[in-house]
Amino acid sequence: MDPNPPPTSREITRILAGSVPNVPSMSAASWVVPAGMLTGGGQYQWRQRGFDGAVYGPWTSTYVRFTVDTTLPATAMADSERNPH
């Protein structure tokens, strides 16, 4: 049993789509979600497919799921005796 079953179609809301143009074959690409699109504690998922300028490839078979964590880290403190620089 999957401890994180995929959401049903009634639970999915598409918030945005994007693309990265002109990526050479066998190269990595990145895409940045615009600020304000994801909320703290929100659960999201994404998947991808390739496009060679003429034909789209298949979607990846699974989604990558993640939760946005906006918790600030504890305040860092320096110990000048152990770390003088």
pLDDT digit string, tens, across residues 48-74: 888 888 899 998 988 899 999 989 888
Q: What tokens appear for 71 in the block? A: 């918790």
Q: Please report, as a single letter, which amino acid is at residue 12.
A: I
Name 69's Cβ contacts closer than 8 Å, sequence gap at least 6: 40, 41
Q: 5 or 60, which is more confident?
A: 60
Site of tokens 């964590």: 69
What percent of the chain shows pLDDT beyond 70?
A: 75
Segments forming the whole domain that contains residue 43: 39-69
Overall average pLDDT of the 31-48 stretch: 89
In this prediction, residue 81 has a pLDDT band, given cuts at 50, 70 and 90, of: low
- For the whole model, what pTM was predicted? 0.60
Written as six digits, the tokens of 61 are 């078979």
79-to-72, 73, 75, 84, 85 alpha-carbon distances in Å: 21, 18, 13, 8, 10
Mean pLDDT score, 7-21: 72
45 inside domain = yes
The total of structural domains in the chain comes to: 1
Identify whether 28 is part of a domain: no
